Amino acid sequence: MFARSYSVRWLGLMLGSLCWLSASNALTAADGTLDLPLPPTATNAALHYQRGILFLGTVDVAKRELLDKSIWEILGTMSKEDQLKKINDLLFESRHAIRSALFGAQQGQADFGTDSLQYSVATLIPHADPMVRLHKLVLLYGMQLQSEGHWEDAAEVYLKAFRMAGHLTHQLTLAEAMAGVEMLEANYYVFSMWAVRCPEQTLVNQASRMMNVLAKQTLNPATTMSHEFRILKLQLATFRASFPDGPWAEMVLEKLNMAIPPVSDQELRQAAIAAAAERGLSADIFKDKQSFDRYVDQLKSIYLSLAEETAAAFTLPTVAAVEQGQAIHAKYASRLGKFGDTGIVNPGQIAAYFATHDAELTLTKVIVALAAIKGEQGYPKRLEVLKDRFGGQVPSSPYDGSPLSYEVLEDGRGFHITVPKVDVDAIELPSIDFRFLPAEEDQ
């Protein structure tokens, strides 16, 4: 138990009060004939998340260090009294950040205010990592509520956290989608632990249905990769237009992950040409506008073909998508390497990353379903009993359709379930494992 806490109901009252003030606390003339209502609360979730990030930034650095750990590391030490105090202190000091994040999660969409054209000169996504930490903070708050027996309040927090992650996976870039997946992975584990410990099966059933709806809206790898290649097209167009009088030298050094020295424009251009030459590019590329444009147009042609083949690969079943992605990478890495671009993403690895997410999501759905149908004799002995919940099919591995490994522990008191690993060429689709056996204090 945490010594000092505040409930989601209290946060709800605070949020409700803010909405009431926005609607009713208007500027009104003395005779009541003229008023100017205050603007309504912003419906863009990103504004509330950004505010939460700013609030979190005011919390003592030493207390925030806890958020640098994975949720599994934090859970592994929650039984220690000193660690519980650290979590409790962090939650109390971060209460304004939590409130802002939960309010943001109630909104339908999130626009972080980044113009697509900005990605053509810089690929930094400043909100991705802070969003991961803010999301982790919200999960810790849900875990606090759960530890105090507020099962419904905890479920509401976890479901809002799913929406937070979905808001990030729906952004334009691969970096944002991958940060969103990191958030989802933590959410799946915490939600699974909530489901198997919750004593109210009706509540577990309701939360399960709501999670399944949210899960359908969180991630579309093909769309993510399509956006990524569109951004690359913008980058190339901006790069082409930057020569000879624009910041092309700075862009070359950025692309090569090199520091930009504080020197004159002429020296900067010489440094860029020298750096490109080290990657095998001819200095003739930079001798005139025609040569430079020809070079960029060749790059663009190769990337367009790469984009088309990658899009087709991502429509294939998991193993085939990874295999095809690997083949695409081998084909285009050598071609782009001849043009000095060695930073090509590997479609096979990206397909494997998203496939691992699918495995984690599948396992979470099965875990929550098992918790929802647990009877007096404990957990069911076979997964076949879940067929009605999974469209008439026994849930299986999203990697290759193979059966899940499932074992009942101690006469139904617990269970152990695994999505087996699959090796695809040089890429391993990892096993996803979950084992639950309640301790004596849970009984």
pLDDT attached to residue 425: 84
**Least confident segment among 94-98, 280-284, 353-357:** 280-284
Task: Pick the closest to residue 328 from 354, 355, 351 (CA basis).
Answer: 351
How far apart are the C-alpha atoms of 329 and 321, rounded to whole Å?
A: 12
- Give the alpha-carbon dihedral of 291, 297, 299, 302, to 10 degrees: -140
pLDDT attached to residue 75: 80
Q: Predicted confidence band at 264 (pLDDT cuts at 50, 70, 90)?
A: very high
The residue whose two tokens read 């863009």 is 44
How far apart are the C-alpha atoms of 142 and 7, rounded to whole Å?
A: 10
pTM here? 0.85
Q: Is 30 helix (H, G, I), strand (E, B) or coil?
A: coil
Q: Predicted confidence band at 1 (pLDDT cuts at 50, 70, 90)?
A: very low
Q: Is the pLDDT of residue 342 over 90?
A: no
pLDDT attached to residue 42: 77
Q: What is the mean pLDDT of residues 183-205?
A: 96
pLDDT attached to residue 3: 38
Task: Pick the closest to residue 125 from 176, 166, 51, 177 (CA basis).
Answer: 176
Q: What is the pLDDT of residues 202-247, one digit of tens each?
A: 999 999 999 999 888 788 888 888 888 888 888 889 899 999 999 9
pLDDT attached to residue 50: 97
- 323-329 long-range contacts (CB < 8 A, ≥24 apart) are 323/348, 323/424, 323/425, 324/348, 325/349, 325/350, 325/351, 325/352, 326/424, 326/425, 326/426, 326/427
Q: Give the angle subtended at the CA of 409 by the CAs of 406 and 412, to the nearest 5°.
A: 100
Q: Is the pLDDT of residue 341 over 90?
A: no
Tokens describing residue 129: 């990592």
pLDDT attached to residue 83: 79
Counting residues of the chain whose pLDDT is more than 90, the rounded percentage is 63
Q: What is the pLDDT of residues 7-66, one digit of tens each?
A: 444 344 344 433 433 334 444 445 555 656 666 677 899 999 999 999 999 999 999 999
Q: Is the pLDDT of residue 196 over 50?
A: yes
The torsion angles phi and psi of 57, rounded to 5 degrees, stand at -65, -20
Q: Predicted confidence band at 309 (pLDDT cuts at 50, 70, 90)?
A: very high
Q: Distance from CA of residue 122 to its chain's centroid? A: 21
